Structure 1
């Protein structure tokens, strides 16, 4: 009986004796380290997000600002706000580049897409052109499409997703421009988004989200086409167009 009791106690104690508490202490240390990294990056992204809301608020004025007043009411203050965001992006890039990119990029991904979209919209309103991925990198002073090292960068997917947000905003602007008496703007927007949509058709997209956003582009194209068609029926398209 005594031997049976000893064997039972040994069996009960065996598994515990084989688990080193240091294993869990080490895991907790790793958890604490990752929490510290996340908090560091999250603080910078929160700052970028707040600045982004300011930039987007400025850009939203385009929907009720006559084209002749865009420079002073929208473009100049937007450029200043984007410069502040660019400075924060650089700080974020320096901090994030110390860690594996694809482990942490989900923290800042959407906010970076918003920055890129704001740059695209600002430059289109100013010059009517689409800023390239490389030009975005130059403006924000960060790498783009990096393949040979694990560092902070702007991906092709980020750039393209940002472009779908920009097209969505321009499709809103088309009818609002008509309300403001600018009948040339919808034609300009229509040409641009048709060119972008045609460009997307050349891409073999692997990203599921990007494919869905690409599918939605045709609805934005049609929305602007309807505005242009209505202007045509009413004889309001400028003769030079």
Structure 2
């Protein structure tokens, strides 16, 4: 009993089940993170393989890129594609913005690798919708026809616009590096092709009103990539090594 409603000395003033319930929720969230991290770790390991293959473009002649880089890279990307689809299926069971930090970096990396592979194959850029279509993987029937992109009205896994654009910035940086190394390998047409492409991409970025500070800073960096590639093209021009227009168009 109590006096005037006051508890006896030593009697708890709170219901300890409150904290027991909180611990259960903490354990549950930890289990979810571990489940997602297991898939992301697999995706990360596959990504290192993909990036290792793509790095060969800096020391492989253009005529050998198909067999030595593009073909093995396609197989590596297919493995990542299935992991992304698995991640999409698992992550869509939980609130997106509560857990997206677990996979955000790896999604950007794999999208960047895919864009670079596709550019090396065709000289073109994939839209965010086309990226989503590619990464549907083996769970297309069970999960969805595509990995969702830029979802606004549902709390499900998706590739965000920010992820897509940040990945594209990384692709541009790698292409700027390739422009210099192509000259070393005796390929004088590729820097012109790269120069035109990244200038077109930067023109697209200028149409955007970016609110994300990190994204705005990364996109501003494209200017430096353009400047570096322009320096390579200018040097080729001074040495009379710029290919004729018809040769460049044929390559593109």
TM norm structure 1? 0.94
| Counterpart for residue 3 of structure 1 | none
Q: 1:29 to 1:231 in 2, by over 3 A?
A: same
Structure 1 counterpart SS, 2:210: coil
2:115 aligned with 1:126: no
Question: Which residue matches 1:78?
Answer: 73
Residue matched to 1:201 = 206
Task: Name the larger-Rg structure.
Answer: 1
Residue in 2 aligned with 1:164? Answer: 169
Query: Across the two proteins, how many residue pairs are aligned to each other?
Result: 233
- Give the gaps of 5 or more residues in structure 2: 137-146
* CA-to-aligned-CA distance 1:25-64 (integer Å, 9 cap, x gap): 0011001000100000000000000000000000000000
Q: Secondary structure at the match of 2:176?
A: helix
Bigger helix share: 1
Q: CA deviation at 1:98?
A: 0.2
- Distance of 1:44 and 1:12 partners within structure 2: 52
Residue of structure 1 equivalent to 2:158: 153
1:227 equivalenced with 2:237 (yes/no): no
Structure-2 separation of matches of 1:18 and 1:100? 34
Distance 1:177 1:220 in 2: 15
Q: Which segments of structure 1 move beyond 3 Å, counting only runs of 4 or more?
A: 9-13
Q: Which runs of 5+ in 1 are unaligned?
A: 1-5
CA displacement, residues 56-90 of structure 1 (integer Å, 9 cap, x when unaligned): 00000000010000110000100100000000111
TM-score normalised per structure 2: 0.90
Matched, 1:177 2:149: no
Whole-Å Cα distance in 1 between the matches of residues 228 and 8 of structure 2?
74
Q: Displacement, 1:10?
A: 5.0
> What is residue 95 of structure 2 aligned with on the other side?
100
1:57 aligns with 2:52: yes
Deviation at 1:215, TM superposition (A): 1.2
CA RMSD of aligned residues (A): 1.4
Q: Aligned-pair distance for 1:18?
A: 2.3
- Tell me the equivalent position of 2:141: none
Compute the displacement of 1:200 (Å).
0.5
